[in-house]
Structure 1
Amino acid sequence: MKNTLKLTAIALSCSAAFSVSAASTLFTNVDIFNGTEDKLYQDHHVLVEDNKIKSISASPIEANDATVIDGQGKTLMPGLIDGHAHIMINYNFDQVEKNKDLTDISINAVTVAQRFLDDGFTSVRDMGGPAFGLKREIDAGNIDGPRIYPSGGFISQTSGHGDFRDRADPGFSAGIKGDVSNFERMGIGNVADGVPEVLKATRLNLRNGATQIKIMAGGGGSSRFDPIDTTQYSKDETCAIVEAAADWGTYVAAHTFNDRSVNRLLDCGVKTFEHSFFISEETMQRIAKEGGFVVPQMWGISPDLAKNPLMPADKLPLINALVEEYGTFGKDLLKHDVKVVFASDYVGVNSDAERARRYEIWWRGEQFGSNFEVLKQMTSNAGEMLALSGPRNPAKGKLGVIEQDAIADIILVEGNPLDDLGVIGGTNKWFDADPEYKKIDTIKLVMKDGQIYRNEM
């Protein structure tokens, strides 16, 4: 028996007629995944007017002058959202630090953005990098790409996860003022210490158009001089950054891994916790109680990470140990009702990033044990997180859902993603995948903000 989609505001009659503009699109005979429920609403009709979803009905919608797209046998679902990406860090770290400038990464970023949109990602939260110009060009219609939520340069303490100076750099030990890494010169990151410096870095990002602020609150694997177990930034520094962001109506996201770091961040009002693999269940409970989000790239605890040709051999035992110890991380988050958001978080050349993103979709299905949970993380959960940007939010409406008055970010796919994440690109191949970029052939249409960017119907 066919399901009937719940109507949110005004009950529609069995057959409805609307006076519509030339910017209207009518999708007919589609099965709807709405982003919030673990089922498809079969054989429905969706009218888009300008950049909003005007109506949804189980009965035919009469819409004069609308462009009609017959989606017979296709699933209509929200545009996908990547909650943690680095569009501008699009070469390997060593190349970025020693052999590239802003022109190199900017040109490469155009391809990265176009491929995000082709893969069905209509919104991307950029978590560190000079993405402001790219966002402006996309918004102006000069480049095809997703809606970008830029953080600007991530903010890091000296010796933190964003301090990429080499030992051989002048002033590395002495801390000579003005000695910066290529990451800082290009605006990928900012090294700031003490309350006045972190306030200046925060306010500079907000001045440039940041929709949220990203700080480094712990160590990491890609930085050489800060062990992964460290806690970074004092409480005074952290709280000052949060207050400065709140003054602009937005929030702070933090790179973090351990309990000590996360609880300090919670004390100051940080809202999203990037990675966070090594936190206890008690800390998970606190995040859930205080309405925070965890945004992990689950490939970080995948055994396939050992296949990375750039991975040093001496790191392999550590990878295996982490995979074994934290193998229940995803399911523990769900057990404690933590809101989780999808993250690809891969940097490097285009083909590496895209292969990692598609592997991440499949691997999350394995780790969370539910395709529905993964889809929520890529749609409604992520949309709720993006809304934390308040007045800085470039989307003036709801994202990540198919419902009346939501923003018309829509993809049409062949197949049912609740049964098979492969229809949105999920694959169990990563480093052994074909390095040549190929469009996902089951994605038939991509609409962002009411405009169709890809149409293979």
Structure 2
Amino acid sequence: MSEPQITLLRNAQILDTVAGEILADRTVLVRDGRIAEIDYANGPAPAAARVIDLRGLTLMPGLADAHVHLTAATPDFAALTRWSPTYVAARAGEILEGMLMRGFTTVRDAGGADFGLADAVAEGYLTGPRILFCGHALSQTGGHGDMRSRGEHSFEGCFCCAGLGVVCDGVAEVRRACRHEIRKGATQIKIMASGGVSSPTDRITSTQFSIEEIKAAVEEAEGASIYVMAHAYTARAINRALDCGVRSIEHGNLLDETSIAKFLEHDAFLVPTLATYHALAEEGVKVGLPADMHAKIFDVLDAGSRALELAHRSGVKLVYGSDLLGAMHRRQLTEFALRGEIQQPIDVIRAATTNAAELFRLEGEIGVVAPGARADLLAVDGNPLDDLGVLQDPERRLKLIMKDGTIYKQALD
């Protein structure tokens, strides 16, 4: 890693994520961590500038993953709650660096990461992407964030423990839980609005939290100028959440046409996470997922692709998410391949760039190569508009990684 400075990137073939085209033979000037100019004069470089020739490479914005679990070094969330928070942070360091080396410069954590992890990256103590965090995800008793087995009666989870979520019941407790995470700087609130795979006592088909509880979370988030993201699988759970003002639905595998109408009505976002189901189906038990939870995967595995196809065809705003756990984080880029079976390359790329920026309310900051944007830049060998495989082989084809003007990888010939 080198410190930010003035950098001149010559002979760049820029991938314009808005227009969906390549802009040939551009020169990009980076100053103070941002893109200062494009088409900078091809004369002498500014004094003290580092000059990098990108001839033959495609320059594109850094990628965004809108559904990660940075602290999930194991898929066994019950075990995670018993780990030391300092040990969890140490394990998260490896996960973070891996994501950055795959080209992800911004990630949105969906439960587990907190301000400490985000600050450690921002201040350079850990190497990784920029972190948007929710702290603990909110769950009702017996919900997707309650990791107690049927025989466990006490709940020792608190607002400072390691683990995915915190249990809260009733409007007052939901408001209090939201306010705790907002106090700690959360950039979004996460709620569990339906059952899930990796929780021991709920059904995937269940709805979770009352309408009043969901509305309370949305009201608290909006009062702090942030928003709510909701884990939800079924059309019933999705529709309830969207009607309450939730901005972002995670997974959505069992949506239907009524859900599509709700997404369009509320201008909401869908974050499919196909990669995790394929990964869990193939290797979940081997890497620590309890067998009874593994069986739930097949209730949603194939449905995820059908939901993506329906949402894409209907014009729902789609954002890239992976939701991988433990050793399966290495499969983060397989989401490109899975979506590429249904969508055109530019649509998948936008899910990880411009659409993500809109969801995060960071338009113009990330997801584009444009003056004023953060200098989160990748140089890749090949044209991703022709072949998404270019983005799935970072060791060979990802030649330059820059975040906020700092270079983390430079492997140019």
1:58: how far off? 8.7
Superposition pairs of residues 215-364 of structure 1, within 5 angstroms: 215-299=191-275, 302=278, 305-308=280-283, 310=285, 322-324=300-302, 327-349=305-327, 352-354=328-330, 356-364=331-339
Residue from 99, 109, 130 that aligns with 1:126: 109
1:44, CA displacement in angstroms?
1.4
Q: Distance in 1 between matches of 2:290 and 2:164?
A: 25
Give the C-alpha shift of residue 403 in structure 1. Answer: 1.4
Match in the other structure for 2:142: 159
Secondary structure of the equivalent of 1:275? Answer: strand
Q: After the TM superposition, which residues 193-232 of structure 1 pair with which residues of structure 2 at under 5 Å, given as runs?
A: 193-232=169-208
Partner of 2:398: 443
- Measured in 2, the distance between the counterparts of 1:377 and 1:113 equals 20
Alpha-carbon distance, 1:60 to partner: 3.0
String of CA shifts for 1:84-123, please: whole Å, max 9, x gaps. Answer: 0000111231673476221221101111111111111100
CA distance 1:295–1:343, change in 2 (3 Å): same
Match of 2:89 in 1: 106
2: CA distance between counterparts of 1:378 and 1:98?
30
SS at match of 2:253: coil
Q: Where do 5+ consecutive residues of structure 2 fail to align?
A: none
Matching residue's letter, 2:314:
H
Report the counterpart of residue 403 of structure 1 in structure 2: 370
TM-score after normalising by structure 2: 0.91
Q: 1:324 to 1:452 in 2, by over 3 A?
A: closer
The structural deviation recorded for 1:216 is 0.3
Shift, 1:231, TM fit:
0.7
Identify the match of residue 71 of structure 1 among 25, 37, 54: 54
Secondary structure of 1:169's counterpart equals: coil
SS of equivalent residue, structure 1 residue 124: strand
**Percent of residue pairs identical:** 38
CA distance in 2, matches of 1:234, 1:148: 30
Contact 1:47-1:61 within 8 A present in 2 as well:
no
**TM-score, length-normalised on structure 1?**
0.83
Indicate how the Cα distance of structure 1 residues 270 and 413 shifts in structure 2: closer, same or farther if over 3 A, else same.
same
- RMSD, matched Cα: 2.5
Indicate the SS of the match to 2:326: coil
Q: Residue 121 of structure 2 corresponds to which residue in structure 1?
A: 138
SS of the aligned residue for 2:396 comes to coil
Q: Deviations over 1:354-380 (max 9, x none)?
A: 1x21222211211x2311111111111
2:354 paired with 1:380: yes
| Change beyond 3 A, Cα 1:108–1:321 | closer
Q: Contact (CA 8 Å) 1:122, 1:145: kept in 2 or not?
A: yes
Q: Does the Cα contact within 8 Å between 2:197 and 2:293 map onto a contact in 1?
A: no
Amino acid at match of 1:26: L
Go from structure 1 to structure 2 and tell me whether the alpha carbon gap of 1:109 and 1:61 turns closer, same or farther (over 3 Å shift).
farther
Who is 1:390 aligned against? none
Unaligned runs of 5+ in 1: 1-21, 172-178, 388-394, 427-438
Distance 1:316 1:145 in 2: 30
**Could you tell me how far apart the structure 2 residues matched to 1:292 and 1:322 are?**
22
Question: Aligned partners of 2:16 and 2:385: how far apart in 1?
Answer: 11
Contact 2:197 2:296 in 1 (8 A): no
Partner residue, 1:46: 28
Larger radius of gyration: 1
1:245-290, CA deviations, whole angstroms, 9 ceiling, x for partnerless residues?
Answer: 1111110000001222222212221100000111112311321232
- State the AA in 1 paired with 2:263: I
Q: Could you tell me how far apart the structure 2 residues matched to 1:89 and 1:315 are?
A: 16
What displacement does 1:186 show?
1.9
| 1:37 to 1:445, Cα distance in 2 relative to 1, 3 A | same
- 1:321: how far off? 6.6
Amino acid at match of 2:387: D
Alignment partners' CA distance in 2, 1:195 and 1:444: 50
In 1, distance between residues paired with 2:18 and 2:247?
Answer: 21
Distance 1:397 1:229, change over 3 A: same
How far does residue 202 in structure 1 lie from its aligned partner after superposition?
0.4
Aligned residue pair count: 405
Separation in 1, partners of 2:184, 2:158: 20
The answer (yes or no) to whether the contact 1:161–1:223 under 8 Å persists in 2 is: yes
Q: Which moved more, 1:155-164 or 1:30-39?
A: 30-39
- In the TM superposition, residue 45 of structure 1 has moved relative to its aligned partner by 1.4
Q: Deviations over 1:174-198 (max 9, x none)?
A: xxxxx23599832531100001100
Shift of 1:165: 0.9
Match of 1:25 in 2: 7
Where 2:21 maps in the other structure, the secondary structure is coil
Q: Answer whether contact 1:56 1:403 (CA < 8 A) is retained.
A: yes
| Native 8 Å contact 1:293 1:339 kept in 2 | yes
Bigger mean CA deviation after superposition, 119-128 or 135-144? 135-144
Shift of 1:134: 1.4
Match of 1:168 in 2: 151
Give the aligned residue type for 1:102: P
> Structure 2 vs 1, CA of residues 321 and 218 (structure 1 numbering), >3 Å: closer, same or farther?
closer
Q: How far apart are residue 140 of structure 1 and its match?
A: 1.2
| Equivalent in 33, 36, 61 of residue 18 of structure 2 | 36
Q: Distance between the aligned counterparts of 1:198 and 1:94, measured in 2?
A: 21
- Inter-CA distance 417–183: structure 2 relative to 1 (3 Å threshold): farther
The CA distance in 2 between the partners of 1:138 and 1:315, in whole Å, is: 33
Residue 166 of structure 2 aligns to a residue whose secondary structure is strand
